[in-house]
Amino acid sequence: MSAPMTSRNIPGPRPRARGASTRLHWWAPALPALAFGLLLMLLAGSGQAHAATGEASAILQVTERILRVVG
């Protein structure tokens, strides 16, 4: 004859909540901020537009402006 067994509830680790992770990668807020800054610089500099006279290209000017702002 076997003795009856009682079950005990042993507390274990809590189950994790299902759903999206709330942790953002570093580039998630950086990319939109960079794009906004570049577009803002392009709009702010459009008042100084002039005909091509053999000066530096627009990409070079934007790059120089970014380096001045960052550095």
Question: pLDDT (tens digit, 9 = 90+) per residue, 27-65?
Answer: 888 999 999 988 888 887 766 666 656 666 778 888 888
Enumerate residues 6+ apart whose C-beta is below 8 A from 62. Answer: 38, 41, 42
> What kind and span of H or E run contains 17?
none
Residue tagged 């709009």 (tokens)? 43
List pLDDT tens digits, range 3-28. 777 666 666 666 666 666 578 888 88
**Which pLDDT value is given to residue 54?**
62
**Which pLDDT value is given to residue 67?**
87
- In terms of pTM, does the model score above 0.85? no
d(CA 52, CA 50): 7
